[in-house]
A and B are shown apart, each in its own frame.
Chain A
Amino acid sequence: MVSKRFVAKRLLLLVPVLFGVATVVFAILHLSPGDPAVAIAGNRASQAFVEQVRADLGLNDPLWQQYVRFLGDVATFNFGESYQIQRGTPVSRILADRLPITIELAVLGQLAGLLFGLPLGILSAVKQDTWTDHLTRIGALSGISIPIYWSGPLLILLFAQFLGVLPTSGRIGSAHFIDAVTGFILVDTLLAGDVPAFRSAFRHLLLPVVVLGIYQMALISRMMRSSMIEVIRQDYMRTARAKGQGEKITTMKHGLRNAFIPVITIIGIQFGALLGGAVLTETVFEINGIGTLLVSAINQSDYPVVQATVLVFAVLYTLVNLLVDVTYSVLDPRIEQ
């Protein structure tokens, strides 16, 4: 079992990490060119109007005062209101709308990676140095090497524009309006009992999930292969075979379980990278998650949204890593020590 002390210790470590992230984000935003007051006021505004906006936002205060105020707001989970993206809307509400979209995408991408990566890795290991192995390894290497901003448009061109079998962008067809209960479109369409909407959402998510999953699949299959090859050579595997156990059962029962431990670690660590990948995937497929939110907020100097979104990314990344550590210690209790 995982001790509460272990989890508490790791959670406490979140505080300095988030403090550091908040400070860096604040510094970068305030040192970068562009004045949010001018962006908000627009080019019809007089200088007096711009000054008024700047004063209203507290941008005339010394930087340290703005920084202290910002830290105080973050500590009380007050991220302020959006300057531009959804004017006047609390950033926390915007994030609550957008976060499930990104999480759904990342989780589906991870599942797709697991679904194809694990069997391919195992197959590659048991068929080591055969054509199957070589082909799988070439595929995996390509999967790791191809960037999302290339594979995304390529798949759009092929499946959406050339073959015309899948939609190019968005999460659901324009005719379907579904109340957001969980924010996960597949779940919400099912909860609404709207099968056509579910089908539409599924078809819309297919390409982005594949794009996100390709990298995961490649990574998992490579990791699974090397881990499995190592396990296959262990004495206990030989013993199992010597007992007369079939090759399939030996591999799946004794091999897979032990080979899975390092793969879990990689999966967890990569989930953070998956969130980063979601920024690109969402941009390519025009999905309105926190990835596109961050890009739009940076382009429009929407400080509160940028700050909160980066913090959310940091929290998610840290929490996922904590979850990995916890999982790992469940699988191998020596880790906790």
Chain B
Amino acid sequence: MAGNDSQVSRRSFLKAAGTATVAATATGSVAGCLGGGGGGDGGSTLRYGRGSHSSTLDPQNTTSGEVAKVTNQAYETLIGFQPGEAALTESLATDWTMDGSDVTLQLREGVTFHDGSEFTADDFIASYRRFVDEDYEYYFEDASAYGPFTLGNWVDSVSKDGDYTLNITLTQTYAPFLRNLAMFVSVVISQDAIEGDTNLDDEMVGTGPFELSELDDANNRIQLTAFDDYWGDAPNVDEVLFLTRGQNSTRAQALVEEEMEIIDGLDPDTIQTVEDSDTASAETTQGINIGYMSFNMSRVEAFRDRRVRKAVSYAIDTQSIVENIYSGIATQADQPIPPALFGHNDDLSPYPHDPEQAQSLLEEAGYGDGFSFELTTFQNPRGYNPAPLPTAETIRSNLDEVGIDVTIDDRQFSDYLTYTSEGRHDASLAGWYTDNADPDNFCYVLLHPQCEVPDGQDWVSWDTEGFNTSNRSAWANPDYMSLVEEAQATTSQSERASLYSEAAQIAHDEAPWVYLDYAEEVRGVSNRVSNYTISAIGGPHLDLVELE
């Protein structure tokens, strides 16, 4: 019997295998009948191509700009950024005043959320509390670091006066606060959604011009459709599709072949691909970012001497890095404040490549025979540094000419972040994208120690209590710190500009960083697209885009 059973089983198996082969053959023959043609036909669908998919749709659960590209279509903030500019404009608030530490905002009436509820002051209060108030029943445990960074550290209380007036009291006069209200994390979410059972990682319940239609994580795409009850002008396209192509070349090819209308994340090679096509072009605007090399003064004694820092700045050929490695999609930097921001000091210029001057300064400082240090860098390209390893190699080569021995320590990004935030680097390549288009976001966040500084010293030890580890140089110049603190407490923009300009002069002369570059924002744009403005902050404003 056993033998018979086996016989039957083998036969069944072979029969099944045969069926599978026939099925495969049939499928194969179908292939022969299939014609060409790519994805969809477009129509009034705007297809936006990018390098990464959104890890969440909850703007309070991320620090990622990739997420913001999508959430900015569905959510709105009280104050907005004008398309293509760093200036503030009305959004859900129609008017606002800032008097010392008191901020009052008049809210827009007649605004409807995607869930049909009406927007009032309570929605902002619920959104704010969800983000930063641990006593709130619906506080979001996984709120991102932007919670304290943007609102929590500065807001003392939020209250309403009727449904359409908000009163916010700050812990101190903090001029950049209005800009923090325009950041993508300061969105207004429907109170009903917050206090209901809506999963905001997968759903968006805002007031923006587009509402979520489909979140397709399996194929890395997100479909948005125009929101019929939007309070402002209706979007010019019916639908926006965010598509992900990780490789720049694939994304550029998709644009050229008219499978996408706008793409971002272009490198010099793919810019050339786009420029060579007759279906699309590469458009640029000045970015609000900086790439630099930090000197860790807490760790390397030589870097505590200003002459050594200046010598290194003279020795590194930043012009060559920008022109040859970044292929012209960046400009040389000369101060911590990017040119697109108020407070940028126009009188400053980049350190020229001058090895003789560098050698002379090193000798003056007692390092004529050179010294050695380790340069930590991330491995993968970032906007402000499209080629970190070649940059590090150029720095090593340049410094070798003046007797400084550099060892390159390249790390995967999260490892790099851990290593440098713990102050274990001698020097590191670094960079920053603006959060709120305010000079404070560079000057205070990246170069102020935010802790006690010993008298007569212009650096701090990494383990000082309360030290701001984003200051990767551990620089603590008292004159600079006073100016930046004064600018925070000054509400007049012209006065602030003057203070920052002065602070930038000190940061240039003291050289706590080697200023490398300000990268441009580059987008590939189809010839079918009009009325698209690249925004270095906020946006993209896809509701304004028109398709032929």
Q: When the two chains form their complex, are residues A177 and B55 in contact, meaning their CB atoms are under 8 A apart?
A: no
A44 touches B34 (CB 8 A): no
Q: Is A33 within 8 A of B411, CB to CB?
A: yes
- Would you call B327 an interface residue if the criterion is a C-beta within 8 Å of the partner chain's C-beta atoms? no
| Contact indicator A288/B220 (Cβ below 8 Å) | yes
A170 touches B219 (CB 8 A): yes
Residues 232-259 of B contacting A (Cβ, < 8 Å):
241, 243-247, 250, 253-254, 257, 259
- Interface residue ranges of B109-168 to A (CB < 8 Å): 141-142, 144-146, 148-149
Indicate if the CB atoms of B145 and A42 lie closer than 8 Å: yes
- A47 contacts across to B, CB distance below 8 A: 421, 467, 469
A41 close to B (CB within 8 Å): yes
Give the distance to chain B from A43, nearest Cβ to Cβ, in Å. Answer: 6
Would you call A115 and B63 a contact (CB within 8 A)? no
**Cα of A288 to Cα of B216 in the assembled complex, Å:** 11
CA gap between A101 and B219 in the complex, in Å: 10
Hey, what's the 0/1 contact readout for A41-80 against B, CB within 8 Å counting as 1? 1111111011000001000000000000000000000000
Is B10 among interface residues, defined by CB-CB distance under 8 A? Answer: yes
Smallest CB-CB A-B distances: 10 pairs: A175-B40, A173-B39, A45-B145, A39-B414, A42-B63, A34-B415, A174-B39, A35-B418, A111-B24, A1-B5
Inter-chain contact A199/B34, CB cutoff 8 Å? yes
- Other 5 A-B pairs with CB < 8 A, given A174-B241, A333-B6: A42-B145, A43-B63, A49-B145, A175-B45, A300-B414
Stretch of A125-133, A137-145, A161-169, A243-251 on the interface side = A161-169
For residue B36, which residues in chain A have a CB less than 8 angstroms away from its CB?
A: 164-165
Q: Which residues of B, 15-39, contact A by the 8 Å Cβ criterion? A: 20-21, 23-25, 27-28, 30-31, 34, 36, 38-39
CA distance A7 to B216 in the complex (A): 38
Interface residue? A309 (CB, 8 A):
no
Q: In the bound complex, how far is the Cα of B257 from the Cα of A174, in angstroms?
A: 13
Question: In the complex, which residues 193-223 of chain B have their Cβ closer than 8 Å to any Cβ of chain A?
Answer: 201, 214, 216-221, 223
Residues of A within 8 A of B385 (CB): none
Encode B430-465 as 1/0 by CB contact (under 8 A) with A: 000001000000000000000000000000000000
Quick one: which of A1, A85, A97, A202 contacts B218, CB cutoff 8 A? A97
* Surface stretch bound by B, among A10-18, A86-94, A225-233: A86-94
Q: Are A176 and B13 in contact, with the CB atoms below 8 A?
A: no
Measured between alpha carbons, how far is A94 from B16 in the docked complex, in Å? Answer: 32
**Binary B-proximity of A158-201 (CB < 8 A = 1, otherwise 0):** 00110011011111111111001001000000000000000110
B218 with A98: CB separation less than 8 A: yes
Distance in Å from the Cβ of A84 to the closest Cβ of chain B? 6
Which chain B residues lie closer than 8 Å to A89 at the CB level?
Answer: 201
Partner of A327, one of B13, B214, B250: B13
Q: Which of B40, B145, B415 contacts A173 (CB 8 A)?
A: B40
Which A residues are in CB contact (< 8 Å) with B357? none
Bitwise interface map of B from 32 to 67 toward A, beta carbon under 8 Å scored 1, else 0 = 001010111100010100000001101001111000
20 A–B pairs (Cβ distance < 8 Å), ordered by A: A33-B415, A34-B412, A35-B414, A38-B421, A41-B144, A43-B417, A44-B146, A86-B55, A168-B250, A168-B254, A169-B247, A170-B219, A170-B220, A170-B245, A174-B40, A174-B221, A174-B243, A177-B216, A288-B217, A333-B2
Q: How far is the CA of A168 from the CA of B245 in the complex (A)?
A: 10
A277 lies within 8 A of chain B by Cβ = no
- A47 to B45 Cα, complex, angstroms: 44
CB distance from B345 to the nearest CB of A (A): 25
Given A174-B40, A286-B246, A87 and B412 contact (CB-CB distance below 8 Å): no
**Is A36's beta carbon under 8 Å from chain B?**
yes
Chain B residues in 8 Å Cβ range of A97: 217-218
Contacting pair B201 A167 (CB below 8 A):
no
Complex Cα gap A229–B245 (Å): 47
Tell whether A330 is near chain B: CB-to-CB under 8 Å: yes
Give Cα A45–Cα B45 distance, bound, in whole angstroms: 37
CB distance from A251 to the nearest CB of B (A): 16
Contact call A39/B417, Cβ cutoff below 8 A: yes
**Chain B CB within 8 A of A30 CB:** no
Cα-based distance from A165 to B38 in the complex (angstroms) = 8
Contact of B6 among A1, A168, A199, A206 (CB under 8 A): A1
Q: Does A24 sit at the interface, judged by CB under 8 A?
A: no
Q: How far is the CB of B151 from chain A (nearest CB, A)?
A: 13
Chain B's closest residue to A286 (CB) is: B246
| Distance in angstroms between the alpha carbons of A174 and B39 in the assembled complex | 5
Q: A87-B201, A172-B219 are in contact. Are A114 and B63 (CB under 8 A)?
A: no
**From residue 21 to 43 of chain A, which have CB atoms closer than 8 A to chain B?**
33-36, 38-39, 41-43
Q: Any chain B CB within 8 A of the CB of A124?
A: no
What are the residues of chain A within 8 A of B28 when measuring CB–CB?
115
In whole angstroms, what is the CA distance A84 to B413 when docked? 14
| Complex interface: chain A residues within 8 A of B421 (CB) | 38, 43, 47, 50
Alpha-carbon separation in the docked complex, A180 to B39 (Å): 19
- For window 98-131 of A, CB contacts with B under 8 Å fall at 98, 101, 111-112, 114-115, 118
Query: Is B407 interfacial (CB-CB < 8 Å)?
Result: no
Interface size on A, residues (CB 8 A): 67
The residue of chain B having its C-beta at the shortest distance from the C-beta of A111 within the complex is B24
Q: Say whether A286 contacts B250, CB under 8 Å.
A: yes
Q: Are A115 and B39 in contact (CB under 8 A)?
A: no
B40 touches A176 (CB 8 A): yes
Q: Check: B87 CB closer than 8 A to any chain A CB.
A: no
Q: Is the pair A87, B62 in contact by a Cβ cutoff of 8 Å?
A: yes
Report the Cα distance A206→B467, complex, angstroms: 56
Q: Do B142 and A87 touch (CB < 8 A)?
A: yes
- Chain B residues within 8 Å of A165, by CB: 36
B91 on the A face (CB < 8 A): no
Q: Does B372 contact A (CB under 8 A)?
A: no
Compute how far the CA of A202 lies from the CA of B26 in the bound complex, rounded to whole angstroms: 13
User: What's the least CB distance linking B16 to chain A, in Å?
Assistant: 10
Asked if B494 is an interface residue, CB under 8 A from chain A, the answer is: no
- Residue in B closest to A198 when the chains form the complex, CB atoms: B30
Considering the complex, give the chain B residue whose CB is closest to the CB of A169.
B250
Q: Which residues of B contact A234 (CB under 8 A)?
A: none
In the bound assembly, the distance between CA atoms of A288 and B244 in angstroms comes to 11
Which residues of the other chain, A, contact B241 by a CB distance below 8 angstroms?
Answer: 174
When the two chains form the complex, which single residue of A35, A42, A164 contacts B144, counting CB atoms closer than 8 Å? Answer: A42
Residue of B nearest to A168 (CB): B250
Interface: A301 (CB within 8 A): yes
**What's the Cα separation between A33 and B47 when bound, in Å?**
38
The answer to whether residues A85 and B257 also contact, given A44-B146, A177-B223, A202-B34 and a CB cut-off of 8 A, is no
Cα A107 to Cα B407 with chains together (Å):
48
Contacts of B2 in A (CB 8 A): 1, 333
C-alpha spacing A118/B55, complex, angstroms:
43
Q: In this assembly, does B14 line the interface, its C-beta being within 8 Å of a C-beta of chain A?
A: yes
Question: With a CB–CB cut-off of 8 A, which chain B residues contact A41?
Answer: 63, 144-145
Chain A residues within 8 Å of B470, by CB:
43-44
**Contacts known (A42-B145, A44-B149, A46-B148); A330 close to B6, Cβ less than 8 A:** yes
Contact status B24-A114, CB under 8 Å: yes
Would you call A330 and B250 a contact (CB within 8 A)? Answer: no
Inter-chain CA distance A129–B188, complex, in Å, is: 76
Indicate if B320 sits at the interface (CB-CB under 8 A): no
A164 to B254: give the CA distance in the assembly, Å. Answer: 11
A254 close to chain B: CB less than 8 A: no
Q: Which residues of A contact B217 (CB under 8 A)?
A: 86, 94, 97, 288
Does any Cβ of A come within 8 Å of B9's Cβ?
A: yes
Q: How far is the CA of A39 from the CA of B12 in the complex (A)?
A: 53
Decide yes or no: A44 and B145 within 8 Å by CB, A101-B218, A170-B219 being known contacts. yes
- Asked if B24 and A203 make an inter-chain contact with CB atoms under 8 angstroms apart, the answer reads no
